[in-house]
Amino acid sequence: MVASLASGALPGAVPEAGSGKVTSPMKVLGIGLPLLYSAAFFVAPLAFLIMLGFWLVEDFQVVPAFSLENYLDIAQHMFAKSNYALAIAQSLWVSLSTAFLAVLVCYPMVLAIVYLAPLSRHRLLLMLAVAPFWSSYVLRLFSWQILLANKGIINSGLAWAGLESFQVSLIYTQSATRIGLIHYLAPILIVILYVTVANIDRDLIQAARDLGATRWQAFRRVILPMSRTGLLVSASFAAIVSFGDVLAGALLGGGAGKSVLGSVPLFSNMIMSEYASSTNLPRTSALAMILVLVMILMLAAGAALADRNKIDAG
Amino acid sequence: MASVIRPDPLAADGRWWRVAGRLYMAIGYLFLVLPIATMIVFSFQKGQFASIPGQGWTLQWYGKLFTDGTLLEALRNSLIVSPLAATGGCILGFLAAYALHRFRFRGQGAFSVLLVLPVLIPPLILGVAFLGLLSRIGLQGQLLSVILTHVVIVTAPAMAVIQLRLGQMPASLEEAAWDLGATDLQTLYKVVLPFTLPGIAGGWLLAFTFSFDEFIIAWFVSGFEQTLPVAVYAYIVGSVDPSLNAVGSIVFGLSVLSLIGVELLLFPILLSRYRSATS
Amino acid sequence: MNAISDIAPPQVDLELRGIAKSFGDFVALERVDLAIERGEFVAIMGPSGCGKTTLLRIVAGLESMSSGQLLLRGQDISALPVHKRSTRLVWQNFALFPHLNVRQNIAFGLTLRRHDKAKVKAKVDEIADLVQLGQFLDRRIGQLSGGQKQRVAIARALVTEPEILLLDEPLSALDAHLRIRMQSEMKRLQQRLGISFLYVTHNQSEAFSMADRVVVMNRGRIEQYGPPEEIYTQPKTHFVAEFVGSNNIFDGKVVDVEGGLIKVQCADAVISAAAGERPPGKGSTVSLVVQADKIGSKPAGTVAENSLNAVLSGREFTGSQVIYHLETAAGVEVKMVAQEPFSQTERTAINMAMQLYWSPGDTVVLRPGIVPGVENIPGGRSYVALGA
């Protein structure tokens, strides 16, 4: 893990170009400073997080210990009181379905940009698609709140237009959470997918069409397989972000938004609200470690699945 | 007519595909701009609860924003935190990118993974971890805590943009400087830095945006020194207040400015990866 | 430095002693020795991957060497880092600083140390006039043409008064027309300034037209070092004979040595060549080299010392000359260059039988020999010219 600073010395008589000494001060600085910062403010906190999960709180004071109490307590409440297991299930369900929907929404967008718009317009269209990313996420969620509220802009607009029967009741459900998340993810996914699709050689599609493939076959046999990596990357990215996000679930899902699994909060929201009410940092750390673990398992399962499909396909 | 050259294989004769595709694209863009348009329009609307039809135009929410100090205070905090975090991230990002560009060393792969890792870990986890350590050393609840932690997460995006730019610099450029007698340091500030400047500026803007929008880490470590997203969150949870639309419009105005900066700096770098500097 | 001036001229500007370089298992250079006299224009020529650019970069200090010694005007510079050497390199892609204008680019090397602004300006103006860049000094690099960029690159190096100028294929990025104009310009510049040029190229005509002496390199070794005329007329090794364009090579066995001539049994005929001072013995394997322009065609039935029957397989009209491609009965390909096409009465046609002749004096004999240090290269058997 730790980069060796002295290994850059060249074998010959002539030292590393541009420096009088064998190891350039630029090398020491360029590797050393980022490494030092990362060790102090990234590796150390994460290592400490693992440790903190075994510490305890006594008389509102965090006390160093090596105790499994936090984990045991969490285990006991997996299916009781807090129902952590349900929250984890809710998180998995919402994040995976969001990832799927986000890709499903963004991929056709990208196909339309790449294949229906002239090349000279691509840059403008991408700029527009990325625009929401540069405005505040929290404020966008607030905006969605007033759009989706039961008597909000969408429903009142529908009523005003005489379309009462089309009114929707989305706010404080996990569907609203998904809308917020997809809106947050879309600009990034569009960029990732654009890079993938735009790099597909058009001559290949032309060749497929020339060989008699229908438009659908050209998509199915050429474009889709060649987008595979981009689709996988964007879907995993979307799943990770959704799984760790707290804002959409809190502001649009209302903390314990309804889904097919019932009105259960997301695991991330649970961690946040538990800390807000108890400020019990060791216990929060233990919960955070569980979130990391579940996420790693989710990714590993996804990778295994993708791998098996690849073997099946090829 | 069969011999007409079709520039676009999918845009060929299928009119329905084209109509459907364009329609879909329009709906997509409507979805993307809807919340922002809502924010701007309703920041000038009278009613406390936004609905259609509107209840007339007003500037009262902007007035309220400037008399009630909380959000302004948070905006001020954010305008201290984000530029400093972005600058820190750019310094570390440049150093690391330059080291990776220029030197071969053991653990090179691990080094770059280590620096990119923070953006792959959910900020919720980082928030808890940062608070855990910072509270042990008495650094929690200050703007400094937010700055220190934000540097960790904005280094990777800044570094990525700077790396792209460095990748466009031919190796002979540095060699030419050495050959003409420049020392390492002279080469750095007379050749490498000027060449990389657009990348550094683009990286800074990206880092600034990441920091300015970051919520959960700041929520954990900032204590009473709230940054804008944290204050806005508290506001939303507390009440429905169209002042937030006014804040949103101001923030969007700021981001339009940075968007112009991005258009001028970031996009040329991202889209012309293989452009050589000299030919 | 004083020791040098005691020695009678020619003075040596740059001396390479046993320079070797390997990248892991790959040997890029093996023991290269070379001396360049003051004011000399030396071209290093060879196929890509022969180590010529590596050698140049080692001299510049941009590459380390595995072993060897570099002397610049008698001083050992082997341990000096690149920025402390008084050599200057000109790059193939020019390596101009895109953020600086022409004047700033040229002045770059002068402004690195404490300097007098007026003096720098005067020097830049002077060199710019010399390379005809006077009116372009305020232009940005992006606004220059290829030839102008090339001049900036040379001016930027020369303004620092280097002891030797190193050039790495500096003309290869230019179009053919411009390349020829720049060749004569560069040669003039070099003669006027009296600075040694060490010039790397893979282009034979570039090397021959500019250089006082040419180094032919192959597989990290110097095959031959001498004036262009000598390289052309008297190749010393098989490789040089093949590399220097229009040579015909016939392999065979010596059958007879008499009267200052050796006779060699080749695939199609017995060919005679001038024996030289140390002729190879009977039965030894040799290669004979004949330049394509020394071969003529004669009416059938005439008697000549060396003659060969061949069938015309192709004809290439290049403007000033015509290249005839022929093939002998044994399948050996022969090239013949004629300064003008045959007269109309003697029309040539593909598959036409022709009789070729040339003088034994135009036949160079190469004897297979083992060149020191080649043993470890697979198939490293090399040919050495007689009397070398």
Domain boundary among A16, A41, A71: A71
Chain C neighbors of B277, CB-CB under 8 A: 98
In a domain, residue A16? The reply is no
C109 vs B contacts (CB less than 8 Å): 180-182
Residues A275 and A253 in one domain: yes
Q: For the residues C359-372, what does the mean pLDDT come to?
A: 72
C114 at B interface, C-beta within 8 A: no
Pairing between β-strand C41-45 and β-strand C196-201 as defined by DSSP bridges: parallel
Measured between alpha carbons, how far apart are the two ends of chain A, in Å?
Answer: 35
Which candidate from A10, A12, A18 shows the least CB-CB separation from C82?
A: A18
Mean pLDDT of B204-209: 91
Chain C residue numbers touching A15 (CB-CB < 8 A):
64, 79, 81
Residue B127: per-residue pLDDT: 96
Q: Higher confidence at residue B270 or residue C42?
A: C42
Based on the fold, state whether residues A182 and A240 are members of the same structural domain: yes
Which residues, including other chains, have CB under 8 Å from residue A194's CB and lie 6 or more apart? A110, A113, A114, A122, A126
Nearest-CB residue to B180 (from C62, C81, C160): C160
Residue C371 binned pLDDT confidence (cut-offs 50, 70, 90): very low
Residue B175: pLDDT band with limits 50, 70, 90? very high
* pLDDT bucket at A59, cuts 50 / 70 / 90: confident
pTM for the model: 0.83
Residues 183-212 of B with CB under 8 A from C: 183, 186, 190-191, 194-195
Contact state of C81 with A15 under an 8 Å Cβ cutoff? yes
A162/C contact by beta carbon, under 8 A: no
């703007």: which residue's tokens? Answer: B143
pLDDT, mean over chain A: 87
Per-chain mean pLDDT for chain C: 85
Determine the pLDDT at residue B240.
67
If asked whether residues A233 and A104 sit together in one domain, one would say yes
Whether the predicted pLDDT of C377 surpasses 70: no
Q: State the nearest Cα–Cα gap between B36 and chain A, in angstroms.
A: 7
**What pLDDT score does A261 carry?**
87
Query: Do A48 and A92 sit in the same domain of this protein?
Result: no
What is the mean pLDDT of the segment spanning B4-24?
70
Q: Kindly list the residues from chain C whose CB atom is less than 8 angstroms away from the CB atom of residue B278.
A: 93-96, 98, 141, 149
- The answer to whether B193 contacts chain A (CB < 8 Å) is no
Res B267: pLDDT: 67
Nearest-Cα distance to chain A for C174, in Å, is: 29
Give C345 or A99, the one with higher predicted confidence: A99
The whole-angstrom distance between C80's CA and the closest CA on chain A is 7
Which candidate in C82, C87, C89, C112 is best for mutational testing of the A interface (most A CBs within 10 A)? Answer: C82
**Domain end point (choices A71, A104, A132):** A71
Token couple for B183: 């020392």
Across the interface, whether the CB atoms of C95 and B278 are under 8 A apart is answered yes
Are residues A35 and A140 both part of a single domain? no
Please check whether residues A60 and A148 belong to one and the same domain.
Answer: no
Give residue C369's pLDDT band: very low, low, confident or very high (50, 70, 90): low
Strand partners, C75: C72
pLDDT digits (tens, 9 = 90+) for C121-137: 999 999 999 999 999 99
- A residues 15-44 closer than 8 Å to C (CB): 15, 17-20
Asked if B131 contacts B219 with a C-beta cutoff of 8 angstroms, the reply is no
Residues of the domain holding A61: 25-71
The pLDDT assigned to A271 comes to: 94
Q: Which residues of C touch A11 (CB under 8 A)?
A: 64, 66
When pLDDT is cut at 50, 70 and 90, the band that residue A5 belongs to is very low
C-beta separation of A281 from B131 below 8 A: yes
Q: What is the pLDDT of residues C96-111, one digit of tens each?
A: 999 999 999 999 999 9
Task: Name the pLDDT band for B151 (thresholds 50, 70, 90).
Answer: very high
Q: How confident is the model at residue C234 (pLDDT cuts 50, 70, 90)?
A: confident
Together in a domain, A31 and A109: no
Top residue of C88, C99, C105, C165 to mutate, by most chain B CBs within 10 Å, is C99
- Please report all neighbours of C, defined by 3+ CB atom pairs within 8 A: A, B
* Contact check, Cβ <8 Å, B172/C91: yes
Minimal-distance CA residue of chain A relative to C23: A11
Q: Looking at residues A27-38, what average pLDDT do you find?
A: 95
Q: Which of residues 3-62 of C touch B (CB under 8 A)?
A: 60-62
Q: Is C99 an interface residue toward A (CB < 8 Å)?
A: no
Kindly report, residue by residue over A228-266, the tens digit of the pLDDT: 999 999 999 999 999 999 999 999 998 888 888 889 999
Summarize pLDDT for B137-149 with one digit per residue, the tens.
Answer: 988 889 999 999 9
Q: How many CB pairs under 8 A join A and C?
A: 34
Looking at residue C344, its pLDDT comes to 44
Residues A58 and A94 in one domain: no
Higher pLDDT: A51 or B52? It is A51
* Alpha helical stretches, state H, C228-368: 228-233, 238-243
The answer on pLDDT for B3 being more than 60 is no
Average pLDDT over residues C323-330: 88
Q: What is the DSSP string of B182-216?
A: --HHHHIIIIIHHHHHHHHHHHHHHHHHHHHH--H
Across B11-38, average pLDDT: 87
- Whether residue A56 sits in one domain with residue A32: yes
Positive/negative CA dihedral, C62, C67, C73, C77: positive
pLDDT band at B271 (very low <50, low <70, confident <90, very high): low
Cα separation of C222 and C374, whole Å?
11
Report CB contact under 8 Å: C95, B175: yes
Q: Is the pLDDT of residue B268 over 80?
A: no
The answer to whether residues B249 and B140 touch, using CB atoms and an 8 Å cutoff, is no
Whether pLDDT at B277 is above 80 = no
My answer on whether A216 and A264 are in the same domain is yes
Give the mean model confidence (pLDDT) for residues B193-209: 92
Determine the pLDDT at residue C384. Answer: 45
Residue C149 CA to residue B165 CA, distance in Å, equals: 23
CATH number (domain holding residue A254): 1.10.3720.10
Q: In the predicted model, is pLDDT for residue C297 greater than 90?
A: no
* Least reliable range by pLDDT among A182-196, B256-270, C274-288: B256-270
Task: Tell me the three state secondary structure of residue C313.
Answer: strand
In a domain, A19, yes or no: no
**Do A134 and A241 belong to one domain?**
yes
Q: What is the mean pLDDT of residues B81-92?
A: 97
Q: What is the dihedral of CA C230, C231, C235, C238, to 10 degrees?
A: 170
- Using the Cβ of B120 and the Cβ atoms of chain A, whether some distance falls under 8 Å is answered with yes
pLDDT of residue B275: 41
Residue C69: Cβ within 10 Å count: 16
- Indicate whether B1 pLDDT > 50: no
Q: What local confidence, expressed as pLDDT, does residue A6 receive?
A: 35
Report yes or no: A199 and A110 within 8 Å, Cβ to Cβ. Answer: no
Percent of chain C with pLDDT over 70: 88
Q: How many domains does chain A have?
A: 2
Considering only the beta carbons, identify the residue of B115, B124, B255 that sits closest to A38. B115
Confidence grade of residue A19 (pLDDT, cut at 50, 70, 90): very low
| Burial (CB count <10 Å: 0-12, 13-18, 19+), residue C377 | middle
User: Which amino acid is residue C215, in one-letter code?
Assistant: V
Provide the 8-state DSSP code for C325: E
Scanning B148-177 for CB atoms below 8 A from A yields: 148-149, 151-152, 155, 174-175
Q: What is the pLDDT of residue B273?
A: 42
Percent of chain C with pLDDT over 90: 49
Whole-number Å distance between alpha carbons of A40 and B152: 10
Task: Check B175 against C82: CB less than 8 A apart.
Answer: yes
- Ranges of each domain in chain C: 2-233, 247-385
Q: Residue window 34-73, chain B: list those with CB within 8 Å of chain A.
A: 34-36, 38-39, 42, 49-53
Give all domains of chain B, ordered by start, each with its CATH number.
Answer: 60-271 (1.10.3720.10)
Out of B176, B183, B186, the one facing C95 most closely (by C-beta) is B176
User: C269 at the A interface (CB within 8 A)?
Assistant: no
Interface test with B, best of C112, C159, C165 (most B CBs within 10 A): C112
Nearest residue of chain B to residue A240 (CA atoms): B122
In a shared domain, residues A166 and A128: yes
Query: In C300-374, at which residue ranges do the beta strands (DSSP E only) sit?
Result: 306-317, 322-328, 333-338, 353-358, 363-369
Superfamily of segment(s) C2-233 = P-loop containing nucleotide triphosphate hydrolases (3.40.50.300)
**Average confidence (pLDDT) over A123-145:** 88
Check residue C8 and give its pLDDT.
55
Residue A105, domain member (yes or no): yes
Chain-chain contact of A15 with C21 (C-beta, under 8 angstroms): no
Please state, rounded to an integer, the average pLDDT across all residues of chain B. 86
- Return the closest-CA partner of residue C127 out of C98, C151, C147, C108: C151
Task: Please name the fold of domain C247-385.
Answer: OB fold (Dihydrolipoamide Acetyltransferase, E2P) (2.40.50)
Q: Using CA atoms, how far apart are residues A255 and B4, in angstroms rounded to an integer?
A: 59
